[in-house]
Amino acid sequence: MNEYAVFCGLDVGKEAHHACALDPDGRRLFDAELPQDETRLRELLSRLSGHGRVLVVVDQPNTIGALPIAVARALGIDVAYLPGLAMRRIADLHPGTAKTDARDAYVIADAARVMPHTLRRVDVGEEALAELKVLVGFDDDLAGESTRLSNRIRGLLTQVHPALERVLGPRVSQKSTLALLTKFGGPTGMRAAGRARLLATARKANPRGAAELVDAIWSALGQQTVVVPGTAAADTILPTLARSLADTLDQRRQIAAQVEQVLDAHPLAQVLTSMPGVGVRTAARILLEVGDGSSFPTAAHLAAYAGLAPVTHRSGISIRGEHPARSGNKHLKRAFFLSAFAALRADPISRAYYDRKRAEGKKHNAALICLARRRCDVLHAMLKTRTTYQPRLPAAA
């Protein structure tokens, strides 16, 4: 970082930022509030550039911090990012306990000056990443909404007709199930419609497996003769919930298509999706959290960041052992975990490794974490060399 003449720390805010600029010796060149305005940002950064090369460091690279980053890049100024947790720990090293924007901006600038290893780069080529950020964030919201609606539907069915829930609950996201719930509601409406109408509706939504689904529904309806209080209300509410869930799932499919289009424009898309178990959504999440992988010198650094590396507990001779990490990037950890689970069916090599861990006595989740940690090593090598997945063939006897 010795090549920089100015270290400008920005404690970003919704309406205004606080900027603190230091020279390599720690002298303040600027320390004041700065409006969230392109003209004022340009004026300050252009003035600081008169001292030499400038490094701008923000504590939030997205949302409210997007404009300062865009202005800095338009002026050809380097940009970095100081994670919030690192900033809080560094702030404890400075005197005083006050929490002000001015103090935070100084901490950010001073960390860039004396502790450059704490900084993270903000990926270039971020047009695609910015679009992915918006699309994936909206998809996460839709996923949460679909889970809420699914649970609500299953809860109502469990309340009024448990046998019917056992049939429809696991299939609640299928088109034929949603079509039946939308048209006929709950058990009373389905029983009144008759088997023939149920079969016709299910086949129109999805011909595959329609007969088996209707047979299971009709058998479940015959297992309960009493009418539980609230059944009439459930028959009224279930069609509305089913329509909302169907709309939400349709939106998720549309968003997935848009994510795939944006992802295809990124040079690392083919590298990520070549790995078994890594689909469009998982690849987008990994790309958003990891970037090109250059911030992680080794696979162990990436595994620790994802929370896949075990944590050692050692104190004298009384406490020893390794335990699963409770920290790490939860979004990245979930992406690795889900891709490892998907690879059990898509990749014989992953399945063999998982089976070996189960044979060693590990439970399902522990074996999956081991597989995810192994795949983390492979993914880091793929990102580092920019090569697609190459399965390791068994050695010849």
- pLDDT tens digits in sequence order for the chain, 397 residues long: 458 999 999 999 888 999 999 999 999 999 999 899 999 999 999 999 999 999 999 988 777 888 998 899 899 999 998 887 788 888 888 887 778 889 999 999 999 999 988 887 775 555 677 788 889 989 999 999 999 999 999 999 999 999 999 999 999 999 999 999 999 999 999 999 999 999 999 999 999 999 999 999 999 999 999 999 999 999 999 999 999 999 999 999 999 999 988 888 788 888 999 999 999 899 999 988 888 888 888 999 899 888 887 766 565 655 555 566 677 788 899 999 999 999 999 899 999 999 999 999 999 988 999 999 999 999 999 999 999 998 765 444 3
Give the C-alpha separation, 382 to 367, whole Å: 23
Give the C-alpha separation, 73 to 131, whole Å: 18
Name the DSSP letter for residue 328.
S
Alpha helices in the chain (DSSP H): 38-48, 66-74, 84-91, 101-114, 126-160, 162-168, 175-184, 187-193, 195-205, 210-221, 231-264, 269-273, 280-290, 299-306, 330-346, 348-359, 364-385
pLDDT at 309: 79
CA distances from 54 to 22, 30, 60, 159, 208 (A): 10, 13, 18, 64, 62
Please write down the long-range contacts of 263-271, taking CB distance under 8 Å and 24 or more positions apart: 263/128, 263/132, 263/287, 265/128, 266/125, 266/128, 266/129, 266/132, 267/125, 267/386, 268/292, 268/383, 268/386, 270/388, 271/382, 271/383, 271/386, 271/387, 271/388
131-261 maps to which CATH number? 1.10.287
The structure's pTM equals 0.68
Give the C-alpha separation, 195 to 198, whole Å: 5
DSSP β-bridge partners for residue 80: 57, 121
DSSP β-bridge partners for residue 6: 54
Domain 6-122 annotated CATH 3.30.420.10: yes
3-state secondary structure of 329: coil
SS (H, E, C) 375-390: HHHHHHHHHHHCCCCC
Please write down the long-range contacts of 22-31, taking CB distance under 8 Å and 24 or more positions apart: 22/106, 22/109, 22/110, 22/113, 23/51, 24/113, 26/110, 26/113, 31/102, 31/105, 31/106
DSSP β-bridge partners for residue 319: 315
For the chain, the straight-line distance linking the first and the last C-alpha, in angstroms and rounded, comes to: 53
Name the DSSP letter for residue 326.
S
Give the number of other CB atoms < 10 A from CB of residue 35.
12
Give the C-alpha separation, 206 to 196, whole Å: 15
pLDDT at 127: 63
- Structure token pair of residue 28: 């303040």
Q: Can you give the residue ranges of every domain in the chain? A: 6-122, 131-261, 269-385
